[in-house]
């Protein structure tokens, strides 16, 4: 029944297009989907750690993206105003600064709010939603309500044309490369480092982890702060493709949670697959449908799949 409905919808959407036209649309929207995929993945990497490992529903995660984006904008303005000769070199420094600022704010948020709410997911949802409102209003008071953009270095401008009719933006390639690098970093941290071992031990059995000498409170704080720091990197990367406003991060929070849950909470591979599938589906459907309607179709598809497979695409392997 589901397969027949999908075929019927596809025939309705693609009616009136030739094979060559559909091929061109899929290629064009596919490249656009890679940029959306990169943003989803960079956001979801931090949320995979916070929600997937710690079971904390961080509704302010999008605001940490905004923190990273505004940090990048501020550094670009300072560099352009006081050291214009360094414009070609400021962006890598801005990425590190975005991580550092978001990490520090996340550390403070965990110390002040989150550490009192573990094992109370609904309370963390309300508390972090309130934190997101506070941060958004702070952005408006500090930076104003208007959208602003970072000044990009010349090496991020233009496009690469591998063949006639194929025009790939360099900033999109940079965004995709950043997401790949960050995925490798998160994997190495989670499964090839002592910190990752402590995190997984704390998730499996907090009391036993404490009994063998793991400082579980410090591990929680570091984990939450790192997840926020990764969102800050996502914000720095986001400035290469879009302008920044106080509510910029909140536009991606629902999609990011959908990616993490659909992929399988705590599963890095599942997160990658879910981010790619949702981004590409949404990008292609937006060509044939209204943007909101495209999101509705993708959300309905995800809900149906989760009803069939509630553990997500790839379930985390946890010993009982």
Q: Between 295 and 135, name the one with better pLDDT.
A: 135
Q: Which of 12-16, 129-133, 161-165 comes out lowest in average pLDDT?
A: 12-16
Average pLDDT (257-281) is 86
* pLDDT greater than 90 at residue 302: no
Task: List residues bridging with 163 in a β-sheet.
Answer: 166
> What is the residue-averaged pLDDT of the chain?
84
Are the C-beta atoms of 234 and 98 separated by less than 8 Å? no
**Confidence at 25, pLDDT banded by 50, 70, 90:** low
Q: CA separation (Å) from 29 to 167, 285, 288?
A: 12, 9, 11
Copy the structure tokens of residue 126. Answer: 């309300």
pLDDT given for residue 264 in this prediction: 83
Highest mean pLDDT among 31-35, 167-171, 175-179: 175-179
Residues with Cβ within 8 Å of 19's Cβ and at least 6 positions away in sequence, in order, are none
Closest C-alpha to 147, from 229, 60, 66, 252: 66
Mean pLDDT, rounded, for 73-87: 91
Give me the mean pLDDT over the 142-170 stretch.
79
> Which of 112-121, 166-175, 220-229, 275-284 holds the top average pLDDT?
220-229
Q: Are 278 and 40 in contact (CB under 8 A)?
A: yes
Length of the chain: 320
Mean pLDDT for the stretch of residues 217-241: 91
Structural contact between residues 67 and 232, judged by C-beta atoms closer than 8 angstroms: yes
pLDDT value, residue 16: 59
pTM to 2 decimal places = 0.86
Higher confidence at residue 171 or residue 72? 72
pLDDT at 72: 95
DSSP string, 166-215: EEEEHHHHHHHHHHHHHHHHHHHHHHSSHHHHHHHHHHH-HHHHHHTT--
The least confident of 9-18, 29-38, 95-104, 187-196 is: 9-18
Query: Of 117 and 20, which is predicted with more confidence?
Result: 117
Between 130 and 299, the higher pLDDT residue: 130
Per-residue buried b or exposed e for 134-150, using 16+ beta carbons within 10 Å of the residue's own CB: ebbeebeeebeeeebeb
Separation in Å, CA 299 to CA 5, 215, 259, 277: 16, 39, 10, 12
In this model, does residue 215 exceed pLDDT 70? yes
């Amino acid at each position: 029944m589901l397969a027949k409905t999908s075929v019927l919808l596809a025939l309705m959407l693609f009616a009136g297009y030739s094979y060559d036209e559909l091929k061109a649309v899929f290629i064009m929207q596919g490249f656009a989907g890679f940029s959306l995929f990169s943003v989803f993945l960079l956001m979801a990497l931090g949320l995979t750690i916070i929600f997937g490992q710690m079971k904390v529903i961080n509704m302010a995660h999008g605001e940490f993206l905004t923190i990273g984006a505004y940090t990048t904008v501020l550094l670009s303005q300072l560099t352009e105003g006081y050291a214009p000769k360094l414009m070609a070199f400021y962006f890598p420094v801005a990425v590190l600064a975005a991580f550092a600022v978001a990490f520090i704010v996340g550390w403070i948020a965990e110390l002040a709010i989150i550490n009192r709410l573990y094992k109370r997911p609904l309370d963390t949802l309300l508390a972090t939603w309130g934190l997101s409102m506070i941060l958004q209003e702070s952005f408006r008071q500090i930076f104003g309500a208007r959208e602003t953009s970072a000044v990009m270095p010349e090496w991020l401008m233009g496009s690469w044309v591998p063949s006639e009719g194929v025009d790939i933006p360099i900033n999109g390639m940079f965004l995709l490369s950043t997401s790949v690098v960050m995925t490798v970093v998160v994997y190495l941290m989670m499964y090839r480092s002592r910190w990752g071992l402590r995190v997984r031990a704390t998730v499996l059995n907090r009391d036993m982890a404490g009994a063998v000498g793991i400082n579980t409170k410090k591990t929680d704080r570091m984990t939450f702060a790192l997840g926020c720091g990764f969102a800050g990197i996502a914000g720095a990367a986001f400035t290469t493709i879009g302008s920044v406003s106080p509510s910029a991060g909140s536009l991606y929070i629902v999609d990011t949670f959908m990616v993490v849950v659909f992929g399988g909470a705590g599963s890095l591979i599942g997160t990658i697959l879910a981010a790619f599938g949702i981004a590409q589906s949404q990008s292609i459907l937006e060509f044939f449908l209204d943007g909101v309607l495209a999101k509705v179709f993708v959300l309905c598809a995800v809900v149906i799949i989760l009803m069939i497979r509630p553990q997500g695409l790839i379930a985390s392997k946890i010993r009982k």
